[in-house]
Structure 1
Amino acid sequence: MGDAALRLLLVDDETGFLDVLRKRLTKRGMSVVGAASGTEAIQTLRKQDFDVVILDLKLGDMDGIEVLEVFKKMVPELPVIMLTGHGSEQAAREGMAHGAFDYLLKPCDLDALLAKVNQAVGREEEQ
């Protein structure tokens, strides 16, 4: 699929987690934009295009499902991977019902997250 950097929108209100994950994904050759709230994420998506979104389910200003629904209205084909902690797998499954590509439990393994991102954008790498 060429050498173009994957454009990823990372949405999480835990800024420490957001910064660490953004740095780790950037080192893996991705172009990562972070958003610390649902509102910021929606504004960011209005301004630029992304190949995939990693969206935390629990945000300070909005529910992750609400953000997902807005994203799906804006860019229906955009794959969204939900991240969930707090044992809220039920909510993550609800996200899948609203069009999320898949979900992972936090904290998640970076390699598992990268594999999921590659699946979401159709870049499955043969190992």
Structure 2
Amino acid sequence: MDQEQEGEFDVNRIEQGLCLLLVDDEEAFLQSASKVLQRKGVTVLTANRGTKALEILAEQSVDVIIMDVTMPGLDGIETLERIRARYPEAKVILLTGHASMESAAQGMEHGAAGYMVKPVDLHALLTKAKQSVGQEG
């Protein structure tokens, strides 16, 4: 089984282009954010729930995961815990529509690389994603 199949994160792949996994239960956000980021040369994968994100990560290597905290079923914090257990080097940026210091602190305790409040500026989000993998903003 090679690295891609194991779902490991290969930082050397960044030179070929940034690959993001967007995880959010708001379909409109997934579609609009994907379009904007793809126009900037970013490869974007999407998942509308935490379980789907875990399925994608089992088969596809990504550079950064951008995930909403509040989702039905497996929420963003629980999904983050599972991602960190399986892929300790994964870079995860959390998003929320509710500016909650408690959820921000909880996410950072579980190893999130960053935290942003919706509505998010996609340029700022892309800058934070690049910074999390060592690229200049």
Q: The TM-score by the shorter chain falls in which range? A: over 0.9
Residue in 2 aligned with 1:97?
109
In terms of fraction of residues, the more helix-rich structure is: 2
- 1:52, CA displacement in angstroms? 0.5
Residue in 1 aligned with 2:88?
76
RMSD: 1.3
Q: Among all aligned residue pairs of Structure 1 and Structure 2, give the percentage whose two residues are the same amino acid.
A: 46
One-letter amino acid of the counterpart of residue 90, structure 2: L
Residue in 1 aligned with 2:99?
87
One-letter amino acid of the counterpart of residue 63, structure 1: D
Task: Mark the runs of 5 or more structure 2 residues left unpaired by the alignment.
Answer: 1-11
- 1:87, CA displacement in angstroms? 2.4
**Which residue of the other structure, out of 73, 83, 96, is the alignment partner of 1:61?**
73
One-letter amino acid of the counterpart of residue 20, structure 2: L
When normalised by structure 2's length, the TM-score is 0.86
Structure-2 separation of matches of 1:40 and 1:89: 27
Structure-1 separation of matches of 2:72 and 2:51: 10
The answer as to whether partners of 1:57 and 1:92 remain within 8 angstroms in 2 is no
- 1:3, CA displacement in angstroms? 4.2
Segments of 4+ moved more than 2 angstroms: none
Task: Mark the runs of 5 or more structure 1 residues left unpaired by the alignment.
Answer: none
Structure 1, residues 95-124: CA drift from partner, whole Å, max 9, x if none? 001000010000011121111011111001
When normalised by structure 1's length, the TM-score is 0.93
